[in-house]
Amino acid sequence: MAFDLTAYTIRRKVLKIFGASFHIYDPSGNVVGFSKQKAFKLKEDIRVYSDASMAEELLTVKARQVIDFSAAYDIVDAGESRKVGAARRKGFASIVQDTWEILDEDDRPVAKVREDSLALALVRRFLSNLVPQKFMVEKEGGGKEAELRVRFNPFIYKLDVRVDPGATLDRRLILGAAVLVSAIEGRQR
Partner 1 sequence: MRSQMCASCGHFFEVEERFAGGIVNCPACGRATEVAGLRDPLWKGLVIAAVVGWIGASSFVASTWGLVPGLAAAAALGLLLWLISRAF
Which residues would be at the binding site for partner 1 (CB under 8 A)? 42-43, 62-67, 72, 74, 76, 81-83, 86, 105, 107, 187-188
For residue 112, what is the enclosing H or E element? strand 109-115
Nearer residue to partner 1 within complex by CB, 84 or 136: 84
Q: 30 phi and psi, to 5 degrees? A: -85, 145
In the complex, what is the shortest distance from the CB of residue 62 to partner 1, in angstroms, rounded to a whole number?
6
Nearer residue to partner 1 within complex by CB, 86 or 177: 86
Q: How far is CA 124 from the centre of its chain?
A: 19
In the complex, what is the shortest distance from the CB of residue 31 to partner 1, in angstroms, rounded to a whole number?
26
In the complex, what is the shortest distance from the CB of residue 59 to partner 1, in angstroms, rounded to a whole number?
11
Nearer residue to partner 1 within complex by CB, 65 or 168: 65
Q: 26 phi and psi, to 5 degrees? A: -80, 175
Nearer residue to partner 1 within complex by CB, 83 or 134: 83
Q: How many CB atoms lie within 10 A of CB 102?
A: 25
Strand partners, 102: 87, 111
Nearer residue to partner 1 within complex by CB, 5 or 46: 46
Nearer residue to partner 1 within complex by CB, 107 or 117: 107
In the complex, what is the shortest distance from the CB of residue 30 to partner 1, in angstroms, rounded to a whole number?
29
In the complex, what is the shortest distance from the CB of residue 55 to partner 1, in angstroms, rounded to a whole number?
20
Distance CA 96, CA 74 (A): 24
Nearest to 113 by CA among 126, 103, 123: 103
Name 125's Cβ contacts closer than 8 Å, sequence gap at least 6: 96
Which amino acid, 113? V
74: left (phi over 0), alpha (psi -120 to 50) or beta: beta
In the complex, what is the shortest distance from the CB of residue 51 to partner 1, in angstroms, rounded to a whole number?
23
